[in-house]
Amino acid sequence: MKIYKDPVALRKYCNKFQLDKIIDVGLNENYEFHLFEKGDFICKIDEPVYYFYFLLDGKTKNFIMSDNGKILLIGFYEAFTNFGDIEIPNNTTYTSNVEAVTKCVLLALPVSFIKLVCLNRKSFLKYLTMELSKKLNDSSRKSSFNILYPLKNRLASFLIEHITVPNQRVINLTSSYKEIAESLGTTYRHLSRTLNEFKNSDIIEIKDKQIIILNEDELRNMSKDM
């Protein structure tokens, strides 16, 4: 991890994410930038919380690992989100692991500043409430989604949602197949089998990190109730 200050970068991110409207006092005096490389742990379950983090650049994986090594994926996150919104108000240690999937830039604010100042400011509390409600809704939707539907329906819905070139029905994947499997609540092997089933049925064509949809109607039929 690299720690640094950069007033020019701070102004850039304030303009981009309106940080100074969330932290409306004391930001310039209390901030640090923390740079994490791919594979670094930003947060580890059961460890003390020393900073409230805003994710400004990069992609992270939030997960829980069981004693036997199995991973329960909570989600993949990109800018703009935070880590610490659950733990700090409740005075707990980290409740999950957060790993950098790519190089990540985070704005770090000391817990003492968050507790003494920010938790008493309406602007920060409004942001916290909105973020927590969004995460709760996303978590509930994902859990229901993975429990109620078989993988072929979940995968069909995922593909429809990720068409990046509408006129050509092309999906340019930005996540690895392992990450996609975790986000769909399945294994890499099961995902590969289902993709091959779609391919053999002439529903899709696969070219490395690109998926071409050959039968959009069939995909939409499989995902219509989701």
**Domain range annotation of the chain:** 2-147, 149-223
Question: What CA–CA distances, in Å, run from 179 to 1, 141, 146, 183?
Answer: 23, 18, 15, 6
Question: Do residues 153 and 197 lie in contact, with contact meaning Cβ atoms separated by under 8 Å?
Answer: no
Topology adopted by domain 2-147:
Jelly Rolls (2.60.120)
Determine the pLDDT at residue 224.
62
Does domain 149-223 sit in CATH 1.10.10.10? yes
Pairwise pLDDT comparison (71 vs 29), residue with the higher score: 29
25: number of Cβ within 10 Å: 15
- pTM of the predicted protein model: 0.75
Residue 213 phi, psi (nearest 5):
-85, 120
> 71 or 34, which is more confident?
34
Rounded CA-CA distance 96/64 in Å is: 5
- Pairing type for strands 59-65 and 71-78 reads antiparallel
pLDDT (tens digit per residue) in 57-112: 999 988 887 666 667 778 788 899 999 999 999 999 999 999 998 899 999 999 99
Average pLDDT over residues 45-56: 96
Q: How far apart are CA 27 and CA 107, in angstroms?
A: 10
Please enumerate in sequence order all residues whose Cβ is within 8 A of that of 46, keeping only pairs 6 or more positions apart, or say none.
93, 94
Output the pLDDT for position 168: 66
